[in-house]
Amino acid sequence: MSSELIHSLRKGNRLALSRVLSQVEDGTKASQAILEKLFRATGSAHKIGITGPPGSGKSTLVNGLARELRRREPQLKVAIIAVDPSSPFTGGAILGDRVRMLDLQGDNQIFIRSMASRGALGGLAEQTEGLSQVFDAAGYGFILIETVGAGQSEVDVVNLAHTTIVVDTPGMGDDIQSIKAGILEIADILVVNKADRPGADQSAAHLRNMVEMGYAADYSAGKHLLSGSLSASTGVVTPAGWIPPVLKTIASEFQGISELSDAVLAHAAYLRQSGQWHAKDEAAIRANIRRLVTAELIGEFRQTVPAELMEALVIKVQQRELAPNEAVRELLAYNRINSLKSSE
């Protein structure tokens, strides 16, 4: 059944694509085999991450960007993966990003898939990477990935995307930047959306300042040679590499979307010319393998080590007969012996 699905998917059948996405999202047994087959056909999509605080306009920007990219590169299909948080209490979720993407409905070369985070931290879901591989193998040239937008530690997307867009809005407090320094560092493109609101120029100037400071620090460490103007609207390529542009947009009015598309395409060109595309791909693969190994080991551990042993050790630790580390050693020793047995 799965080889039939793969065949239909590769031929452009969207129901087959949708069903494969579900298999992968649910992490079914079949999905591993499917991903293994499909992986060989991946590697050509330009993956673009969009992150930023809730309500900053990520979905609206994705709507505009997808429409513009389709206009610029009509031969390329666009996939959108929009991740929203699951409720930690019920495991349910309301996924509302499509409400902002109604302009894309008439175009059957665009495929939007909503995804619940299902308890994963870091702004993506466990299987966002898997879904992006499926779209890639299905021939989607652009894959836009909207993160949860919790605002804090949304850095997983850099491991996945070639180009990361960080969105902020004006007036979210002048001094307390809503974008933390850590998240600024992951940006390839910075966007001040809702530029129709007061304070947009100050916010843009402030972000530009922070970008400059970041690169000035590199400069003083003697790493890079800096030239070029930071106020340029598309990214500036210097011997130091790509310097993120700061763009103002009014996503709800499609303003600034053309410039944003310029920057996205310029960044892709820069990545390819500089060899960074290859390096990012390698880093993404390394991060993905690490993640999969971790998940696999934890799964094996859960299957092998009985809950009773865990419980018994918890009691011993609580009675101060054992330190936590000693309990861990015991659990791992048990796992080592018994997981070998079960795999023989």
Partner 1 sequence: MTERKIRVLIAKPGLDGHDRGAKVVARALRDDGMEVIYTGLRQTPEMIAEAALQEDVDAVGLSILSGAHNALVPKIVDNIRANGQTDVVIFLGGIIPEDDIPALLEKGVFKIYGPGTDTRQVCSDIRSAVKTKAQA
Ligand X SMILES: Nc1nc2c(ncn2[C@@H]2O[C@H](COP(=O)(O)OP(=O)(O)O)[C@@H](O)[C@H]2O)c(=O)[nH]1
Q: Which is nearest to 185 in space by CA: 161, 162, 207?
A: 207
CA atoms within 13 A on the CB side of 215: 24
Residues lying near partner 1 in the complex (CB under 8 A): 14-15, 18-19, 21-22, 26, 86-87, 90-96, 98-99, 102, 105, 108, 111-114, 116, 118
Dihedral of alpha carbons 117, 119, 125, 126, sign = negative
Bridge pairing between strands 241-243 and 236-238: antiparallel
252 makes contact, choosing from Mg ion, ligand X, partner 1, none, with CB < 5 to 8 Å by partner type, with ligand X
Least CB distance to Mg ion at residue 261 (A) = 19
Which of 58, 280 has the CB closer to ligand X? Answer: 58
- Site size toward ligand X (CB under 6 A) is 15
State the Cα–Cα distance between residues 250 and 257, nearest whole angstrom: 8
> Binding of ligand X at residue 58 (CB under 6 A)?
yes
CB environment 53-74: b (16+ within 10 A), e (fewer): beebbbbbbbbbbbbbbbeeee
Contact between residue 270 and residue 276 where contact means Cβ atoms under 8 Å apart: yes
> Binding of Mg ion at residue 147 (CB under 5 A)?
no
Least CB distance to ligand X at residue 113 (A) = 15
Least CB distance to Mg ion at residue 84 (A) = 7
Instruction: Assign 30 to helix, strand or coil.
Output: helix
> Binding of ligand X at residue 149 (CB under 6 A)?
yes
Binder of Mg ion out of 31, 59, 128, 169 (CB under 5 A): 59
Least CB distance to Mg ion at residue 146 (A) = 6
The interface with ligand X within residues 275-334 (CB under 6 A) comprises: none
- Site size toward Mg ion (CB under 5 A) is 3
Q: Within 10 Å of residue 233's Cβ, how many Cβ atoms?
A: 15
Contact between residue 78 and residue 110 where contact means Cβ atoms under 8 Å apart: yes
CA atoms within 13 A on the CB side of 3: 0
Which of 62, 160 has the CB closer to ligand X? Answer: 62
State the Cα–Cα distance between residues 309 and 328, nearest whole angstrom: 11
> Binding of Mg ion at residue 97 (CB under 5 A)?
yes
Contact between residue 183 and residue 155 where contact means Cβ atoms under 8 Å apart: yes
Least CB distance to ligand X at residue 57 (A) = 3
Least CB distance to partner 1 at residue 41 (A) = 21
87 makes contact, choosing from Mg ion, ligand X, partner 1, none, with CB < 5 to 8 Å by partner type, with partner 1
In the chain the first and final C-alpha atoms are separated, in Å, by 29
The interface with Mg ion within residues 258-277 (CB under 5 A) comprises: none
Least CB distance to ligand X at residue 155 (A) = 17
What does the binding site for ligand X look like in residue numbers (CB under 6 A)? 54-60, 100, 149, 193-194, 196, 250-252
What does the binding site for Mg ion look like in residue numbers (CB under 5 A)? 58-59, 97
